[in-house]
Structure formats: C-alpha cells, structure tokens
Amino acid sequence: MTSSNWQFDTEKSLVESHGLKLEEFEKIVEGLGREPNLTELGIFSAMWNEHCSYKSSKYWLKKLPTSGERVIQGPGENAGVIDIDDGDVAVFKMESHNHPSFLEPYQGAATGVGGILRDVFTMGARPVANMNALRFGDPNHPKTKHLVSGVVGGIGGYGNCIGIPTVGGEVNFHPSYNGNILVNAMTVGIAKKDKIFYSAAAGIGNPVVYVGSKTGRDGIHGATMASAEFDDDSEEKKPTVQVGDPFTEKLLLEACLELMKEDAIIAIQDMGAAGLTSSSIEMASKGNVGIDINLSKVPMRAANMTAYELMLSESQERMLMVIQPKKEELARSIFKKWDLEFEIIGEVTDTKKLILHMDGEEQASIPINILVEDAPEYQRDYIVNDPSPLINFESKDFEDKDILSDLLKMMSHPNLCSRKWIWEQYDHMVMADTVVRPGSDAAVVRVHGTNKGIAISTDCSPTYCRHNPYEGGKHAVVETWRNIVASGAEPIAITDCMNFGNPEKPEIMGQFVECIRGMGDACSKLNYPVISGNVSLYNETNGEGIYPTPAIGGVGLIRDLSNTMTISLKNEGNVLCLIGENNNHLGNSHYLSIIQNREDGGTPSINLDDELKNGKFILDCVAKKLLKSVHDVGEGGVLVAIAEMCISGMQGIKIDITKDFLHGFFFGEDQARYLVEISKNKLEQIEVDASKSGVKIERIGEIGGTSISINSIGEIELSSLIDHHTKWFNEF
C-alpha cells in the first residue's frame, strides 16, 4: 500500500502515529472485516508493536535451544522455570527497560525492576534475588553521570523498599550508548514444583479479576514508544514513562502469594507493557477462550478516563486473574487485608473474542486470533558483515616495563574499576540468605531453609559482539557459564535480553542473526538452554544504533553451600595457578581500548570443547574441596583478575613467571581460563589430575604480603591499587 491510494476513512496520520505500518492497517481491516474504531486501533498498536509482538525477532528466537532435563517451563510464559531438586524450582527472567530509563532514569529503572519482579511472582514464586545489566555512554559524556545516578537510585529505590536483595550485576561504558542507555533487570524467584501458576484463562463464565493499584493515565503508549527510535525531540516522550510504587508492589506480592496458597487462582498475568490490553489478550489466547470486560468496573485514579486510555495505560503494580467463582469472597478478603483494589471486571467466554463494554456501550470486539496468531511476523533482510580482522600482536609492539603502571590505569578505568559505590546503594542482604555478595564472579543466594544455593551471573561484551557477532554471542553465554562454574555451581539455564538497533537495517538484523547463532551454539554445547527472555530493538538515536548487546543472565545450582567459591584470596603461602591455554590474544581487549585507545584486533574465538573441559575440571576440584578461591579470567585478562582477587581477599601475591611476551600473557583475553588458589600440599595432586584430563595448568605465584610483585618488573602496594580502583565512583 502506498500513500497515494489510501482508501480508508481512518486518517492515515492516525495510523502512523500509532506506530503501525500502512500495510499492517490493511491487515487489521481484512481481519475485522471493517475499519477499527479508535480503541481497537490502540489495542492493535499495543499488540503489534515490536516490544509485544516480537515480529522481527520471533523467527530467529525459535532457533535457540529451550529444553533440557531441568527445564520445566521454557520461553512463552511470564518467566521460565527450572528444577532445582527436592520439589523446588527457580523461576527467572531478564527484561529491558531501556527507552524509559533514558528519558527518566530513576522511574525508568525502578519500574523495570517492578515489572520483572511481577513477572516472577505471577508464576507463584517468591522473588529472592535481583540482578541487572547496565550500559551507559562515554564516561565523560555530559549526561552519563546523571543517568548512572538516576538508574542506580531507581534500582535501589524499588528493590530496597520491596525487600528483595539486589545481589549483583554488570555495568559498562561505551560511546555507542550515548543516546540509548540499556537497563536490563533480572529477578530470580523460588517456588514449589507443584505450585506454579500460569496465564491460560479457563472455565467459561469464570470471573476475571483486577487487583492491585488503580489505573491512571501514566505510561499510555509506553510499549509503542519502546518500539521506536529516538531523535532530538525524544524528551517530549517523557509522559509515556510510568511511575513506580514499590510499597504497593510489596503489598501485591504478599497478597498474591497468600492467595496462591489457596486453591483459588485459575490463571494470573501481570499488567506490564500494554497493560490491560496485553494481559487480557494473552490470558485469552493461551486458554483459547474469549474475555468480556466491563471497563466501567476498572478502578480508576483519574476522572473521565476513556476506554482507549484504560486499555493502554501502563500504570504499575496491577494484576489480572481468573479465579474459582466459589473463592471470590476469600480472595476479596485477602486483598482487602492488604488495602489493595479487588474488582471483578469481566468473565471468561467461549466467543474467542476480546469484547469491551463501557457505560453500557460496546467499545471493542476483536477476535483474539487476529491479534495474536495473525500478528505480523517479518523475516527481515539481513547482511552479515565480515568480522573485524584478527591482529597477531607481538612482544616487540610493547614496552614490557610499563606493566604495573598500565595495570593501575586499567584498574581505575570506569569499565574495570570497583562497583562498590553502586552495590552499596542496593540492599544486597535483606532476606538474610545472601551467601556471596556483589563483587565476585557470581552472586550466590541460599534457598531459604536449605543448605543449597543458586548462583546468578549477568554478562555481555558488546565490543566483542560488534566486531564478531557470532563469537560475541557465544561469549556472552559462556562468560555467565564460567562465572557460575567459578562460584562452585552447576550451570543450568539462561535468560536473555536482546538489545539491538533498528532491525529494518540489514546490517543490524545481521548482527542479531549472528549473535543468536553464536548463543545457540554455546547453549547447545554446554547444555545450558534459554528459558525466558526479552527483545529490545530500535535502540537508536538520530540513526545511530547501539552496539549489539545480547545480555545474558545465567543461573546455576550449588547442592552443598560449603562448596561455594569466591574470588577472594584466602591464605598466605597458597599458590595461584592459571587453568587454560594462553595465546596472547590482545585483539579488542580492555588493554587496547584503555591504554592505547584502540578498538581493533578482533574478538577472541571461543573453543566450546575447551570451555566444557576446563569448567568440568574446576567443578571436579571444587567437589573434592581442592580449591580455596576461583576467579574466571575475563575482561582485562590475567593480571586484572589477579588484582581483583588480591583486593577482594586483602592479600598480596608474588608473581614468578617467565614469558617472552608479558603484555600478551598479562592482558590478553583468551577464553576458557580460570585462576585458582591451591594450598601447597594439594598442588601436585591437582597438577596430576589436570594432566590426566588434558587441562593446562600453570603456577603463577605465591600468595602473601601487601603488594602485587612481579619478578624482574617491580611491585605495587595493594593500598595504592585500591585507591585507584575506587576513585572514579567515589568522586561521583
């Protein structure tokens, strides 16, 4: 359809302002057999935007492995579910709140946390841990500090108040996020295997119940806004950002969990993006039924709200449920106890339509299948560019004597410096089950009342993805896997948050396709399936897209918490060893970017067989209680990892090695590597075991003293290292 032969009564500009393509409008008319009214147009706009419909990504997401022996619920529900033994399950998901957080960082981030928490407790799980993955622009960009302060404040403000610990996360800075920051929030909850709640409506005539906060005019078109690029006038979109009320969410959490103990709820769905529209339609679609709603019954915060506004509001802290008719009074009394709204607003029908009434008049009547199954799906054109070429750096390219001053510069850089300033603003200990606090490879939270724990890690290296989306996609998955292994846990499954630019550009779509391919290969090889996730596209401002950022949240299980590992060096006299092969890969490393201001040299490639072999070796050693501390070698390479272990454990080290290419060894970012602390009397046993398993192990140095010293180079006092490491955020 071209603009010249527009043949409908509906104004073309109205269609466009709803983010719908003209051919998509034609499809609506075809499905309905008539033109939609304004309320219906709003509903289609909300359901068919990228954020809710996954229309550009669905085809590719289906290629990811999503099943496994511990997977109870894969993608498609509010959150994924894995079996963690003894009748317990872990429920988790990660979700983006990028666009709103850029417009209004505190509320954007806060409601991001609120939304993901609801996704998890909707499933019947008590949330036990929050994590996040954050990307900001250039540290020196005038907006960066404001955005960091706002986002950290918002995450803390919401999580602290509701009383769920924020146990970790990751933060990166890169100019590609100057106009589009990324705020990805993850929640993990614990439930009983036989008490999981789903969203499929059932039972013709059963009541549809609205609970939680009243509906106001906030957040109207939030999901549509999140499916568009920004430009210079984006500030005007601020009213589409919702306002969070963590206190009400706490009440909603307790009321829902209390009601879930009764046999009352048939189906439950949180009102997140696209509010009442997407929640009611999803429940009806999953149950293959219809839903009638009387909008006059919806609790309203503002006077004279229209059907259009009620259906598109993204007011927070609301839920939709289908309940057993006989349990209505019981349910009402629980919500009343918690001072929350409880209103029967409709019923389940056999029409397979969403029918809305208000003030006695029909406001909308749409067959559910047109909205869901017939939603547009695109196989967008894509181009896969060649990965950035590899550069083989050599010793002669570097002056080896500067290694310690280079280390200081790296440890003080915003991308590698201490995040203590951030995590001290998050209550990371409430619920009294936090075993490993922020700052280690993975956070570990005890399953309440047991001696087992879950390990959680979020990660992604966008620079790797930008220069080689396939290896970058693999890396994001593998990095979380390795972090979980390093904490002594068996990695089980992941959630993903796919943050990309405009998918209508073939090169962006190519990045998406390649990242998915890399992720899929890593997940398959490591038996580490994707069980939930979220896609955020159109992260562009004035035509400039962000770096491809497939953020991954991984979860693992520690059966016996006495096997929990941290990165903190423990005892003087122990020996630090490197596990894994070193190939001096300096391409696209933090060393090049921080010290030489270069972004080239190519993404390191990942050998998944080596990952599996080395990871298994670490877990075997942990089970035999042979290791004192473990740290995955990631961003910044071996020397940065050593420095982190020293700072965390307040122990020095005497490094004694002989290498031809010291910069390559200390700062190269080769994969599948770990640093392990071993007591001297266990050293030979481990070396024999390693050689039997075909795992490379190398002694690096002996723990002790108050400095990091390197033979033939010099030493640096820990106190000086710590000053540099904490300086940037302390001066915030």
Partner 1 sequence: MKTHVIVFPGSNCDRDVAVAIQNIIGSSPEMVWHKDSTIKQSDLIVVPGGFSYGDYLRCGAMASTSPIMKSVIENANKGVPVMGICNGFQILIESGLLQGALIRNSSLSFICRDIIIKPTNTKTIFTNKSKISKMPIAHNEGNYFADSNQIKEIEDNDQIAFQYCDENGHINAHSNPNGSINNIAGVFNKSKNVLGMMPHPERAAESIHGCDDGRNIFESLLS
- Contact between 637 and partner 1 by CB under 8 A: the answer reads no
- Contact between 563 and partner 1 by CB under 8 A: the answer reads no
Total binding residues toward partner 1, as defined by CB under 8 A? 29
| Contact call for residues 101 and 143 (beta carbons, < 8 A) | no
Among positions 25, 338, 342, 481, the unique one binding partner 1 when judged by CB under 8 A: 338
Exposure string of 677-702, with b = 16+ CB inside 10 Å and e = fewer, is: bbbeebbeebbebbeeeebbbeebbb
Q: At CA 589, angle to CA 617 and CA 480, rounded to 5?
A: 40
Contacts of 233 (CB under 8 A, 6+ apart): none
N-term to C-term CA, the chain: 53
| Contact call for residues 671 and 611 (beta carbons, < 8 A) | yes
Residue numbers 437-466 binding partner 1 by CB under 8 A? 437, 446
Q: Tokens 């038996």 appear where?
A: 527
Active site includes 97?
A: yes
Closer Cβ to partner 1, 438 or 462, answer by number: 438
Per-residue contact track with partner 1, 244 to 283, x per CB under 8 A?
A: -xxxx-xx--------------------------------
Per the rule left: phi > 0, alpha: psi between -120 and 50, beta: everything else, 39 is alpha
What kind and span of H or E run contains 45? Answer: helix 38-48
Closer Cβ to partner 1, 66 or 434, answer by number: 434
Closer Cβ to partner 1, 196 or 252, answer by number: 252
Neighbours of 35 (CB within 10 A): 13
Ramachandran angles phi, psi of 402, nearest 5°:
-90, 10
Spacing of C-alpha 443 from chain mean position: 14
Spacing of C-alpha 705 from chain mean position: 39
Q: Tell me the C-alpha distance between 615 and 609, whole Å.
A: 10
Q: Tell me the C-alpha distance between 291 and 332, whole Å.
A: 21
Residue numbers 391-420 binding partner 1 by CB under 8 A? none
Question: What string of H, E and C letters represents the secondary structure of 238-266?
Answer: HHHCCCCCHHHHHHHHHHHHHHHCCCCEE
Closer Cβ to partner 1, 160 or 395, answer by number: 160
Nearest-approach distance from CB 418 to partner 1, in angstroms: 13
Longest Cα–Cα distance in the chain: 86
- Contact between 666 and partner 1 by CB under 8 A: the answer reads no
| Contact call for residues 98 and 182 (beta carbons, < 8 A) | yes
Closer Cβ to partner 1, 127 or 462, answer by number: 127
- Contact between 341 and partner 1 by CB under 8 A: the answer reads no
Q: Tell me the C-alpha distance between 683 and 687, whole Å.
A: 6
- Contact between 729 and partner 1 by CB under 8 A: the answer reads no
Active site includes 51?
A: yes
Residue numbers 132-191 binding partner 1 by CB under 8 A? 156-157, 160-163
- Contact between 565 and partner 1 by CB under 8 A: the answer reads no
Stretch that binds partner 1, among 66-74, 174-182, 428-436, 591-599 (CB under 8 A): 428-436
- Please provide the size of the chain in residues: 732
- Contact between 317 and partner 1 by CB under 8 A: the answer reads no
Q: Tell me the C-alpha distance between 89 and 70, whole Å.
A: 9
Which residue in 51, 174, 467, 663 is the catalytic one?
51
- Contact between 662 and partner 1 by CB under 8 A: the answer reads no
- Contact between 121 and partner 1 by CB under 8 A: the answer reads no
Among positions 426, 500, 512, 674, the unique one binding partner 1 when judged by CB under 8 A: 426
Contacts of 38 (CB under 8 A, 6+ apart): 14, 308
Nearest-approach distance from CB 432 to partner 1, in angstroms: 4
Closer Cβ to partner 1, 46 or 162, answer by number: 162
Closer Cβ to partner 1, 303 or 432, answer by number: 432
Nearest-approach distance from CB 53 to partner 1, in angstroms: 35
Nearest-approach distance from CB 165 to partner 1, in angstroms: 9
Per-residue contact track with partner 1, 217 to 246, x per CB under 8 A?
A: ----------------------------xx
Among positions 243, 561, 657, 683, the unique one binding partner 1 when judged by CB under 8 A: 561
Among positions 430, 657, 683, 722, the unique one binding partner 1 when judged by CB under 8 A: 430
Extended strands (E) in 468-529: 490-499
Which residue in 18, 97, 590, 663 is the catalytic one?
97
- Residue among 682, 581, 545 nearest 622 (CA): 682
Among positions 9, 194, 329, 339, the unique one binding partner 1 when judged by CB under 8 A: 339
Nearest-approach distance from CB 251 to partner 1, in angstroms: 6
Closer Cβ to partner 1, 391 or 435, answer by number: 435
Among positions 110, 284, 416, 431, the unique one binding partner 1 when judged by CB under 8 A: 431
Q: Tell me the C-alpha distance between 115 and 78, whole Å.
A: 10
Closer Cβ to partner 1, 173 or 729, answer by number: 729
Q: At CA 720, angle to CA 717 and CA 725, rounded to 5?
A: 125
Report, as residue numbers or ranges, the catalytic residues: 51, 97
Binding residues vs partner 1 (CB under 8 A): 156-157, 160-163, 245-248, 250-251, 338-339, 423-432, 434-435, 437, 446, 561
